[in-house]
Each structure stands twice: as structure tokens, then as C-alpha cells.
Amino acid sequence: MTAQDRAGLAAARRIVVKVGSSSISGESSWRIDVIVDALADARARGAEVVLVSSGAIATAIPFLDLGGRPNDLASQQAAAAVGQNVLMWRYQNSLDRHATLAGQILLTASDLENPTPRSNARRAIDRLLDLGVLPIVNENDTVATQEIRFGDNDRLAALVAKLVSADALVLLSDIASLYTKPPTEPGAEPLDVIAHDADLSGLEFGSTVVNSVGTGGAATKVSAARLAAAAGIGVLVTGADLVGEALAGGPVGTWFEPSPTPAPLGTLTE
């Protein structure tokens, strides 16, 4: 049943949760346990959960002595190959506490644009959920180029939510909610609920940010949230530390109301 408000997350049948690189890599890797515990609680309530996780490149940086996030494509792809392995090991190590298996799904833009691989991905995820496995989705950065440079998986998470007919999408951020302007600026106010047809032109979400571990920012989350909401999927944007409260339907974050007349989600290239 599609969640019509944030409280509906507590009863949502199928939820997609997305977490970014900065929340789970480097000194923040401890947060993997926090996220896994929250997902386990949601699963215990009967929800099917799909996790979209960034962090492969960021996770590899300390192991490859690169001195920071690499700028050249070949090094980024190499880092993704190493980091994906370590990232999945960390998730599985945490999931072992809940006797849960992880299943890795690596996707590219073309996978979701073409009917056959898109159908294959949906079938595989559905079967993993049937088996009680936690699907963990990431972009296949070793073979894709655009995905490394843009979005930090926010758009991918919206597309996956549509792919699996999710009842809700939760985008985890570094801050508790979205604001009317960057929260460090005077007069910035938190946004509680955004209607599916709201005019956001007067708000300042900023441009995509590239930091030492990932890409993304408020603007990419707003874009992804609007995309999913237009497809009839309610979206919550909140802080990674609030994931447990969010999945329990607590009064946190910024809620994007789902459109009552869902439109096709489209593709990554639109």
C-alpha cells in the first residue's frame, strides 16, 4: 500500500532506502550498523526492503593510497571494483547479527532503459525478496561513466523504487530535513511537506556538490524525490542517523507527497 504520508512508512509493504557515501564511508563506517538495525526492524514488521547504497569508491580510497578521491576515470573504476567488495563485506558482517543475507545488484543506466535487462533486474530483486535476502543496489561504476560523475545514486534510487513498485522511498542525507535555502544561511527554514504539484522555484537547494568522498547534495535529492513522487511514490528525505525513526513513521524529515495520478518514471537520460 502506497504511503500517503510519513506515518504510512510504518505500514508500507515495500520500501527502497538510499544512503550516500559520506554517511557510511571513512570515519562514518560505523553507521552501517545503525542503518542495518533499522532495516532489520522494518523487515521484522513485515516490510520488504531494498537498499540502494553508494560508497564503493569512497570505501576503497584508504586501501589504495590514492590521497583522496581520484579524478581520472580509470582510477575511479578501479576504486569502485575494490570498494564494492569491501562495502558488501561490511554490510554482510553487520547483517550477520540479524541472520540475514545480502544480495548484490549492480546496475547501469542502460540496464534500466532497455526492457530486457530491466525485466531481468526486477525479476532478480523480487526473487531475492521472496527468499528473505536484502538486495543491495549500487551503480556498476566499473563499466559506467556518467553514473560516477552525477547523482550519487539519488536518481537511481528513484528509478529502482519505480522498478520494484515500492510503496515509499527514503533518501538518507547528512541533515535531518531539506531547507528553504542552504541551512547555514540566515533565514533558512526546514521544509515539512512538499505537495506533488508544489512550485519550488522560490527555494534554494543549491547545485550538485562534489566532496572528498561522493557526489550529490540537496538538489539531486529534490530532483529524485520529485521524480518518484510523480510516479505515485511517497518520498522522505531525512538524516541517516534518523533512519530508524523514519522507517517507523516518525515525524522527521521532509515528505514529498505522491501524485494521485502517477506518470511513467522515465529513464536516466530524460
Cell numbers for 1: 500500500
Determine which helix (DSSP H) or strand (DSSP E) holds 228, and give its type and residue range.
Answer: helix 218-230
Alpha carbons within 13 angstroms on the beta-carbon side of residue 134 total 29
pLDDT for res 266:
56
pLDDT band at 216 (very low <50, low <70, confident <90, very high): low
State yes or no: pLDDT of 60 exceeds 80.
yes
d(CA 60, CA 26): 9
Q: Which three cell numbers stand for residue 89?
A: 563485506
Give yes or no for a contact between 51 and 19, defined as CB atoms under 8 angstroms apart.
yes
Q: Is the pLDDT of residue 211 over 80?
A: no
Say which residue, 72 or 207, is predicted with more confidence.
72
Do the Cβ atoms of 141 and 76 come closer than 8 Å? yes
Greater confidence (109 vs 250) lies with 250
Run of H or E residues at 51: strand 48-53
pLDDT of residue 73: 87
- Contact assessment for residue 129 and residue 196, using Cβ atoms and an 8 Å cutoff: no
Which residues carry a binding-site annotation for substrate? Answer: 54, 141, 153
What's the chain's average pLDDT?
89
Residue that the C-alpha cell 545514486 belongs to:
153
Give the number of other Cβ atoms within 10 Å of residue 262's Cβ: 16
Q: Is domain 6-256 in CATH 3.30.2350.10, yes or no?
A: no
pTM (2 d.p.): 0.92
Helices 73-95 and 56-64, interaxial angle, to 10°? 100
The answer for 122, left when phi > 0, alpha when psi is -120 to 50, beta otherwise, is alpha
Distance CA 196, CA 199 (A): 9
Most confident by average pLDDT, 64-68, 171-175, 214-218, 264-268? 171-175
Q: Is 55 within 8 Å of 82 (Cβ atoms)?
A: no
204: confidence class by pLDDT, cuts 50, 70, 90 = low
* Segment 1-29 mean pLDDT: 94
Q: Where do the structural domains in the chain lie, given as residue ranges?
A: 6-256
Render pLDDT for 107-156 as a digit per residue (tens, 0 to 9): 987 788 889 999 999 999 999 999 999 999 999 888 876 654 444 689 99
Assess whether pLDDT exceeds 60 at residue 269: no
Rounded average pLDDT over 184-198: 90
**Alpha-carbon span 189 to 207, nearest angstrom:** 18
Binding-site residues sit at 18, 54, 141, 153, 173-174
Q: What percent of the chain has pLDDT over 70?
A: 89
| Mean pLDDT calculated for residue range 213-231 | 81
Summary count for the chain: helices (H), strands (E): 10, 10
> Which positions make up the binding site for ATP?
18, 173-174
pLDDT at 184: 83
d(CA 134, CA 111): 20
Tell me, what's the pLDDT at 80? 92
The radius of gyration of the chain's CA atoms, rounded to the nearest angstrom, is 17
